[in-house]
Amino acid sequence: MQRATVLLLLALLTLTVRPAAADLVVVAGPKSGVERLTQKEVVYLFMGRWRQLPSGIPALPIDLAIDSPERAEFYRRLVNKEPAEIKAYWSRLVFSGGSLPPYTTEGREGLIRLVSNNPGAIGYLERNQVDSRLRIVFEFPATP
């Protein structure tokens, strides 16, 4: 009886414990001409609907590596989609000639370098990785 109770408690504990969501923010370079973006604008930029930033500069959305936890969390919070759904979305869009997916960089430093050196580049990082080379242009609402 005790063993069954302990196993039940462990099973319940694993169901309720989730890793904390990353405090992700969307960033642009200081020469982007963008001060703030709405969630709708970020969706349009990262899902290929817009090819320009609101400032008129050609947009270069940048994703982190496909297997990065930040990328998965970003798309969950942005459009409530899992990585496989995002991949399928882009496969359909590219096949139909609609648009190209965001440029992918392997690491955070690469993303920071691209965003800070390209006026149209926009990316996402954890808040604690943002430095003076970047401007936060969108913050996700706090999760309960």
Whether 12 is in a domain gets the answer: no
Position 95 pLDDT exceeds 80: yes
pLDDT at 35 over 80: yes
pLDDT category, 14, cuts 50, 70, 90?
Answer: very low
Is residue 10 in some structural domain? no
Tell me what pLDDT residue 18 has.
38
Q: Write the CATH number for 59.
A: 3.40.190.10
The pLDDT value recorded for residue 43 is 97
The pTM score is: 0.82
Residue with tokens 């099973």: 11
Measured between alpha carbons, how far is 89 from 83 in angstroms, rounded to an integer? 10
Asked if residue 129 belongs to a domain, the reply is yes
How many separate domains does the chain show? 1
- 125 assigned to some structural domain: yes
Containing structural domain, residue 54: 19-139
Angle of CA points 77, 83, 85, to nearest 5°: 95
Cα torsion 109, 90, 27, 124 to 10°: value is: -50
9 is a domain residue: no
* Residue where the block lists tokens 């020469």: 31
Indicate the SS3 state at residue 134.
coil
